[in-house]
A and B are shown apart, each in its own frame.
Chain A
Amino acid sequence: MAKHKISVTVNGTAREAEVESRLLLVHLLREVFRMTGTHVGCDTSHCGACTVILDGSPVKSCTVLAVQADGSKITTVEGLEQGGKLHPVQEGFTEKHGLQCGFCTPGMMLSSVALLERNKNPSEQEIREALAGNLCRCTGYVNIVKAVQYAAEKMR
């Protein structure tokens, strides 16, 4: 199978790789770069466990080919903490018990970060709409909403 040389910037670091055309972005991150914070929870783009921020927009990295990401900037869960300081969304999730098993958490947090970057003061309904592409089986979403509200407050 044909290989392609690609360059991406992951959490501020320039990375290069030679990949098959069919390699999914999530597998580039997890298996080539060994950044395993981004998870795989389904095969149909429904669960959102693999959500990363690609050039400013949250995307499901199981539905993006690595070659499509060539030249782009990617933020993963590993890039949220800056200089030893947690992102307010990370803080919110732990303060408000917005996670249990932790599997959906990275994707859920990245969708939340993307929401707060475009809407500083979301209503509960806006939060629920922004997270509707991320499934959680543990929390019933109540505390996830509170976690995002906590982060929004902190970021204002």
Chain B
Amino acid sequence: MTIAKTDAKICGMGHSMKRKEDPRFIRGQGRYVDDIVLPGMLYMDIVRSPYAHAKIKKIDTAAALKIPGVLAVIDGPTLAKYNLHWMPTISSDTQMVLPTDEVMYQAQEVCAVIATERYIAADGADAVEVEYEPLPPLVDPFKSIAPGAPVLRKDKKDQKDNVAFHWEAGDRADTDKALKGADVVVSEDIYLPRIHVASMETCGCIADFDAAQGKLTVYMTTQAPHAIRTVFALVAGHVGLSEERIRIISPDIGGGFGGKVPVYPGYVIAVAASVVIGKPVKWIEDRMENLQADSFARDYHMKVELGAKKDGTMTALRIKTIADHGYSNASANPSKFPAGLFSICTGSYDLKHAFCEVDAVYTNKPPGGVAYRCSFRVTEAVHAIERITDSLAQKLGMDPATLRMKNFIKPEQFPYKSVLGWEYDSGNYQGALKKAMDIIGYDALRKEQAEKRKKGELMGIGISSFTEIVGAGPSKDFDILGIKMFDSAEIRVHPTGKAIARFGTKSQGQGHETTYAQIVAQELGIPASDVQVEEGDTDTAPYGLGTYASRSTPTSGAACAMAARKIRDKARKIAAHLLEVKEEDLEWEPGKFTVKGAPQKSKTIQECAFAAYTNHPQGMEAGMEATHYYDPPNLTFPFGSYICVVDIDRGTGVVKVRRFVAVDDCGNIINPMIVDGQIHGGLNQGLAPALYEEISYDDEGNITGGSFIDYYVPTSLESPNWETDKTTTPSPHHPFGAKGVGESATVGAPPAIANAVVDALSHLGVTHLDIPITPEKVWRALKAKGAAA
């Protein structure tokens, strides 16, 4: 499917249009939640638990309440009066808003102080005295799942152990048999540690309850305003906050990456405080609260086994996973997919036998499995298959590129039905890897590596040929809390031919104000500069599930094209009426209907729009607007091949990424500049967990990476000069052939980097290193092999 390129004035798909959102951001005129001040607004600060597991004996608020300006302290028993002390999670588990009895993780919310000023609220939180009786914490998921472990979720009547859920896909017996019959089997224990999105803006809200109208408006950092409104109605419907009385406004969002999908306790406490006190209440968490209590991802302990024939043909894959979900399953996965889309783990390879299973475990940590630019477990799946593929290459003495080329699903096999049940829409994996190898000069690098090894220098080349799975999703399989995962667009064309378009999604930096305008421009020929895009206000936008999991272009983007096509159909009728011809006598090019064979007779889309309000045909409804709820027929399967070159210092173990080439394929592209930006950022969020970031805990459940002092977000100095390129394999089922791209690089990059490091050490007998591959880990590996300088 090729897309006609519009001229630069219209600026439809394929143009690197400068972003429409930039003028306000470069002037410091963005409007983030903390920039908003309402009359009479109060501030909230939260008291958090220093223990990972403890009984609350007493909360003494007397000293706090004596501070001038402190108005109230809200604790669990206060909320319990309204039955608001527990809430459902998006994954149909339950989570405390505030505890009445026990705290289950360090930094858990214990109570909240409401005051007239930000600093006074903090003083109040400092002055609250909480008496705890520490209880033994369960920190290690393997101990938590062991027989006889104390049951953590005593609040759940039927819970007899610490398993949150068991999930599996594929044929266990068939895979066991295939692995037994394999010529060679490689096996690795692979851990993907707990990490944190660390968007530059933390989470927060202003809850504004108008008692006279009985209406609650919440300005909040959310990627999914409509879904949040419904969750709020479910949580608080019984106290009179029904859905038509709730308005969620998601203003400018300073990065989300999935961390702003869940409902955190702080939001609910602020709402309760505003309802009780009758004034707007602002809550903005600080960075340490953000890193210690919200939105953790990964924490997957995987045993990965891959069988193959002697010639390198892969035959069978088996993965067994223990997933540490913390004390509640608060991830945002579709209800039929508790382990997300992990069964994409056969990756880019034509595997005939596969089985994977996940046991999700409760521990005394904050809810995990939530988000990090892919919360649907594709990152975990890709890391498993791409890492184990290199182990197989190492075992067989084959070049990892050759091994991949041999096992790739071939272009003519698409649409391809994977053994674990997915129908891959389109792909050309050989094309992407070949392009990446050509750009980076693969053969020359292998020669250089051989020379360096002779001199004792450590250099590695790592490949990752990933397949992503995004755009959830088809309503027959995909829902969150029962709400189907369609998404929406509404377009109104004004009499003067300009337009406003509204969506159920919410940009957090992805540039929707620009890209959605370009889709309208492509479909209607109205210049993108004449299209205003609005998202994030539930009172005005059509219902949708929001922006995460790379779903905006596959769902709302598609809805935008479909709504625009409805408008075009109407415009055609109007043009035929104005030109006094039949509709079928008209030809369309973006922006204009022309009478076939009479090029001088034409009507522009703007003329049709004007007529829709001033001179519409008798019997036709006036106006020019359309809404579309798009239910995707399938997911989209973007892919790519990444090649990374690293140099390693034998003395310190420091890994330096010398080059990184990323060839991505996300089908047809709306805005190449923005896609490259998404890839760059995604690559950095692949580099970060590969080499630097980890949220870890000591045996007592104390977080050891809870501030930017310890949690190592890469700066401009660690980040390489990413080299990007593309191949283009359109999605056959998407209205304009696009696939989602926001998370591809975060999913694809970590194994490329890990494979490069292991490759640099492979001649010493190293077969695997867990990420983040810190200098210490490399140095210890070198030392163990007697190869440290």
Contacts and interface: CB of A to CB of B under 8 A. Distances in A.
Interface of A: 20, 22-23, 27, 30-31, 34-44, 46-47, 49, 76-78, 80-81, 86, 90, 93-95, 97, 99-106, 109, 124, 127-129, 131-145
23 contacts: A22-B119, A23-B119, A30-B35, A39-B200, A41-B202, A41-B254, A43-B707, A47-B200, A47-B287, A93-B22, A94-B22, A94-B23, A97-B676, A99-B25, A103-B32, A103-B200, A103-B255, A109-B26, A131-B715, A132-B717, A137-B198, A140-B682, A140-B719
A41 B285 CA distance: 10
Contacts of B676: 97, 143
Interface in B226-261: 252-257
Interface stretch (B134-142, B505-513, B597-605, B612-620): B505-513
A100 B201 contact: no
B119 A81 contact: no
A143 B677 contact: yes
Contact of A137 (B23, B34, B511, B681): B681
B683 A102 contact: no
B402 interface: no
A88 to B, nearest CB: 11
Interface in B684-710: 684-685, 707-709
Given A90-B26, A102-B509, A142-B722, 16 more contacts: A39-B200, A41-B254, A42-B707, A44-B288, A47-B200, A99-B22, A100-B255, A102-B254, A103-B200, A103-B201, A106-B28, A129-B716, A132-B715, A133-B715, A135-B713, A143-B680
A10 to B, nearest CB: 12
Contact of B253 (A77, A86, A101): A101
A81 B287 contact: no
A108 B672 CA distance: 24
Report the 10 A-B pairs with minimum CB-CB distance, sorted nearest first: A37-B28, A101-B509, A103-B254, A102-B25, A140-B680, A77-B28, A46-B708, A100-B509, A36-B35, A42-B287
B116 to A, nearest CB: 13
A43 B677 contact: no
Nearest to A127: B716
B30 A95 contact: no
Contacts of B255: 100-101, 103, 137-138
Contact of B713 (A36, A78, A102, A137): A137
Contact of B200 (A27, A81, A104): A104
Contacts of A90: 26-27
B29 A37 contact: yes
Contacts of A143: 676-677, 680
A40 to B, nearest CB: 7
Contacts of B727: none
A134 to B, nearest CB: 8
B119 A93 contact: no
Contact of B27 (A37, A128, A136, A144): A37
Contact of B201 (A36, A41, A144): A41
A38 B30 CA distance: 10
Contacts of B26: 77, 86, 90, 93-94, 99, 102, 105, 109
B681 A44 contact: no
Contacts of B199: 101, 103, 137
B721 interface: yes
Interface residues of B, number: 57
A135 B715 contact: yes
B566 interface: no
Given A78-B27, A90-B27, A34 B200 contact: no
Nearest to A77: B28
B526 to A, nearest CB: 23
Contact of A139 (B197, B510, B677): B677
Given A36-B28, A77-B27, A140 B722 contact: yes
A95 B677 CA distance: 13
Among the interface residues A34, A42, A47, A80, which one has the most CB atoms of the partner chain B within 10 A?
A: A42
A39 B199 CA distance: 13
Contacts of A34: 37
Contacts of A37: 27-30
A145 B716 CA distance: 9
A76 to B, nearest CB: 7
B201 A39 contact: yes
B658 to A, nearest CB: 14
A41 B713 CA distance: 13
Nearest to A31: B118
B674 interface: yes
Nearest to A91: B26
A79 B253 CA distance: 23
A45 to B, nearest CB: 9
A101 B552 CA distance: 16
A122 to B, nearest CB: 12
Contacts of A139: 677, 680-681, 684
A39 B119 CA distance: 17
Interface in B711-729: 713, 715-717, 719, 721-722
B255 to A, nearest CB: 4
A132 B511 CA distance: 25
Contact of A100 (B24, B27, B287, B510): B510
A40 B32 CA distance: 11
B783 interface: no
A100 B532 CA distance: 18
B509 A142 contact: no
B717 A128 contact: yes
A97 B28 CA distance: 16
A95 B287 contact: no
A143 to B, nearest CB: 6
Contact of B708 (A47, A132, A141): A47
A39 B681 contact: no
A135 B200 contact: yes
Nearest to B511: A100
A23 B118 CA distance: 11
Contacts of A99: 22, 25-26
Contacts of B21: 102
A100 B28 contact: no
Contacts of B119: 20, 22-23
A144 B721 CA distance: 11
A88 B511 CA distance: 22
Contacts of A106: 28
Nearest to B509: A101
B7 interface: no
A41 B28 contact: no
A49 B197 CA distance: 17
Among the interface residues A44, A95, A137, which one has the most CB atoms of the partner chain B within 10 A?
A: A137
A145 B201 CA distance: 22
Nearest to A89: B26
Contacts of A104: 200
Nearest to B35: A36
A23 B255 CA distance: 27
A18 B253 CA distance: 32
